Amino acid sequence: MYKQTIITILLALVTMTGWGQTFNWKIEGTAANANPEDTLLLIDLEEQNEVATLQVRNGRIIPTSGTLSNPIVCGIAKEGRPGWICAFVLEEGTATIDIDLNKDYVQHIGGTPANDDLMAVFSAQKSAPDDLLLSRQNMYNIVSNVVSKYPSHIVSSFLVGFCKGIFTPSQSLSLIEKLAPNLQESSKIEMLKDNLTIAQETEEGKMFKELTGISRDGQPIKLSDYVGRGKYVLLDFWASWCGPCKAEMPGVIAIFEKYKEKGLEVVGITVNDKPELSDSVVQKMNIPFPQIYKSAPMSTYGVTAIPATILFAPDGTILARGLRGEEIEKKLQEIFN
C-alpha cells in the first residue's frame, strides 16, 4: 500500500511538472511597403485574439518577444486592412518573417522547425504547376509529410483546415487520421470531419446530389433543372455578406458570357443568406445567370467556405471542385477547345 502511494505521488509530480511550463518566442524580419505609422497585429488564428503588436521602422520589424505555454499559429494583420497577410507558427525560438503589405501572401517565414516546414507548403502552393491534379498531389505529399512529422502540433491542425479547399475530401480525411487523438477530438476538427464526410459523397467522379431552393421570383427550383441535362454546369457558391465572393463575381460572369454558347451553364447558389439581400447584389452587379436561394449546400455538398465552385459534366458527374479564377478558365479551355 505504501509503495503504491509513493508511485502515485511520483506520477502526479511528473504530470504537474508540465503545468505552467512556458517557452520564449521571438519574431523579427521585414515588412515592405510599410508606413511609419503602421501597426501590425499578431493574431492567434485559432482563438482569434490579439497576441502582440509589431512596430515597423525603416522596413524592418522591431524584434518582439514573449512567452507562451503552447505553440500557436498566428496571422499578421494590419490595422484598417481586412484579413490577415500571412500565417506562421509562434513557437520556441526566433521566427523570421518577410512580408509585403501590398500582397496577400507571405514572402518568407523560417527560423524555427515548424515555420521552415510551413514555408515549404506555401512555396509549393505559390509555384504550383498548371496541371491541377499534379499540383494537388504535390501539395498533398508535402502537407502529409508535415502532419506525419508533427501529429500533435497545432501547425498540423491548421494545415488540415487551410488545405481543405485544395484537397479532395478523401485526402483531407486521410490527413485527419494522421493527427494525434487530442487534435482529432477538438471541436474544430470534429466539425470539419463531419463536413468532409458529407463532401466525400460529392467529390470528383461522383454523381450530383439533388439540391432544392427557391428561384429569384420565389418559385420552387432544384439543381436537376440544370444539372444532368446535357450541358456542363458550373455552380458558384456565394453570399451577399462575402467580400471575396463579390470580388470574384465579375470573373464568373465573364466566364459565363464567354462559354455559354459553347454549352456552359452557370448557376449561383447562395449560402446562409437572405434572398432579398442576395437579390440586391444580383441586381446591382447585373448577374445574368440563374440563382438558387434558400438551399442547403453545406449539408448536401459539404461546402464549408466560400467562394467555392463545383463543375459538372453533361451527365451530372462531378468533374472538379474548388476551382477559382484562372483555374476555372484553364479547365474550361481543356473542355471546349
6: pLDDT confidence band, cut at 50, 70 and 90? very low
pLDDT score recorded for residue 166: 82
Q: How many residues does the chain have?
A: 337
Rounded CA gap, 223 and 208, in Å? 9
In the predicted model, is pLDDT for residue 225 greater than 60? Answer: yes
Per the annotation, the verdict on 163 as an active-site residue is no
Which amino acid makes up residue 320? A
In the predicted model, is pLDDT for residue 250 greater than 80? Answer: yes
Model confidence pLDDT, tens digit, residues 193-217: 988 888 888 888 999 999 999 999 9
Q: What is the mean pLDDT of the chain?
A: 87
Whose grid coordinates read 515592405? 32
Look up the CATH number of domain 212-336.
Answer: 3.40.30.10
Model confidence pLDDT, tens digit, residues 285-313: 999 999 999 988 878 888 878 899 999 99
In the predicted model, is pLDDT for residue 129 greater than 80? Answer: no
Rounded CA gap, 309 and 132, in Å? 15
Query: Which of 299 and 283 is assigned the larger pLDDT?
Result: 283
Rounded CA gap, 15 and 268, in Å? 54
pLDDT score recorded for residue 18: 43
In the predicted model, is pLDDT for residue 17 greater than 60? Answer: no
Q: Are domains 23-122 and 212-336 of this chain identical in fold?
A: no
User: Please, which contacts does 146-151 make with residues 24 or more away whose CB atoms are closer than 8 Å?
Assistant: 146/117, 146/118, 146/120, 146/121, 147/175, 147/178, 147/179, 148/178, 149/117, 150/114, 150/117, 151/178, 151/179, 151/180, 151/183
| Dihedral sign computed on CA atoms, order 268, 274, 280, 281 | negative
Model confidence pLDDT, tens digit, residues 152-164: 999 999 999 988 8
- Where does 127-235 have alpha helices with state H? 132-149, 154-162, 169-178, 181-184, 187-200
Query: Which of 103 and 75 is assigned the larger pLDDT?
Result: 75
| Domain edges within the chain | 23-122, 128-200, 212-336
310-317: average pLDDT: 96
Q: What is the pTM of this model?
A: 0.69
Per the annotation, the verdict on 242 as an active-site residue is yes
> Any idea what the Cα angle at residue 73 is, between residues 68 and 78, rounded to 5°?
100
Rounded CA gap, 148 and 174, in Å? 11
pLDDT score recorded for residue 121: 87
Nearest-CA neighbor of 173 among 186, 190, 155? 190
Look up the CATH number of domain 23-122.
Answer: 2.60.40
Assigned C-alpha cell, 28: 523579427
102: pLDDT confidence band, cut at 50, 70 and 90? confident
